[in-house]
Amino acid sequence: MATAKVAITLEQQLLRLVDQWVSQRRFASRSQAIQVALREEVEHWKRTRLVEEVKKLNLTEERALAEERSPGEEWPEY
């Protein structure tokens, strides 16, 4: 995957923590630590957004749509 260089500003305490992780070899570099953290946050946001969208559904309406079929049409036997 292509990468791009960006400059960011971090609080000193947060940067010390990132540097600690790198020195403990939890991450190969500051960049890797920040990429992993950002990727995880994006995935969390996506899951949270999906949950919020599902909450908007009207279950009664959705159930009625699921049960809708043409007149005379039968559900197949399983």
Which residue range forms the structural domain that includes residue 54? 30-65
Is 36 within a domain?
Answer: yes
Is 59 within a domain?
Answer: yes
Percent of the chain whose pLDDT exceeds 70? 94
Is 43 within a domain?
Answer: yes
**Which of 41, 32, 3 minimizes the C-alpha distance to 24?**
32
Is 41 within a domain?
Answer: yes
Is 60 within a domain?
Answer: yes
Counted domains in the chain: 1
Q: Is a pLDDT exceeding 80 seen at residue 47? A: yes
Average pLDDT over residues 46-70: 82
Which pLDDT score is estimated for 41?
A: 95
Backbone angles phi, psi at 68, to 5 degrees: -65, 135
Q: Is a pLDDT exceeding 90 seen at residue 22? A: yes
